[in-house]
Amino acid sequence: MAGRLKGKVAVVTAAGAGIGQAIAMAFVAEGAKVYATDINRAALDAIPRARKMKLDVLSDKAVARFAEKVGPIDILVNAAGFVHHGTILDCDDRDWEFSFDLNVKSMHRMTKAFLPGMLEKGQGSIVNIASGAGSVRGIPNRYVYGATKAAVIGLTKAVAADFIKKGIRANAICPGTIQSPSLDQRIADLARTSGQSIETVRQAFIDRQPMGRLGKAEEIAMLAVYLGSDEASYTTGQIHLADGGFAL
């Protein structure tokens, strides 16, 4: 089907690369008016026909100004995030605070800024990018990352429950390991610190996926299209796994 999001206004964070970029592109292709945002404005140039705006989701003031400029929207996709590698013994206060600020509080900021406009319209869909790591499944060396993504699921369910009678839906997508520039950088960093080859580290990521391959950002994007569309009008407060069987 084409035009599944025709007439809808959407905001996507972290649209400069990876999952966020794929979602912004898919939304444009399905007819939405898309505000694609990222801290790196130049990275947004790859997205055709989107309104491209620099946005620091760590700033209360920047988010508030952005929301005021954009006005009421129909779909909010919170895709900004950071993957910290390590156990509790590798996580200092700075790691903890930054991870929760970017992975969780940014979603709080964006939702709080755009929810009033959705309530005025009497409808809205919020799609938060969580993870298969966290409350879905505990995995090694994802201590604070898993904690933040578990919090994202809790945040999503709370918003869904609070506003279910007012036309607002909130859902979380839990991807498995997705090929992206972020993953490439993490693989390179891990190879350097562990003394392994990049190929060995990459294969370890692939091997932990039961399907035997990494996921594609476009596969996550199509799930986001569904959750943002009226096709999902009876779906809220749920986690949606797109993980190649990672949680089995």
3-state secondary structure 147-163: HHHHHHHHHHHHHHHHH
Report the SS3 class of residue 21: helix
Number of C-beta neighbours around residue 38 at 10 A: 26
Number of C-beta neighbours around residue 154 at 10 A: 15
Q: Cβ(19)–Cβ(175) under 8 Å?
A: yes
The full DSSP string for 23-37 is HHHHHHHTT-EEEEE
| CB-side neighbour CA atoms (13 Å) of 42 | 0
Check 35, 143, 145, 226 and give the catalytic one. 145
| CB-side neighbour CA atoms (13 Å) of 44 | 20
Q: Cβ(23)–Cβ(44) under 8 Å?
A: no
Active site residue 234: no
Q: Cβ(198)–Cβ(206) under 8 Å?
A: no
Q: Pairing relation of β-strands 124-129 and 168-175?
A: parallel
Catalytic site residues? 145
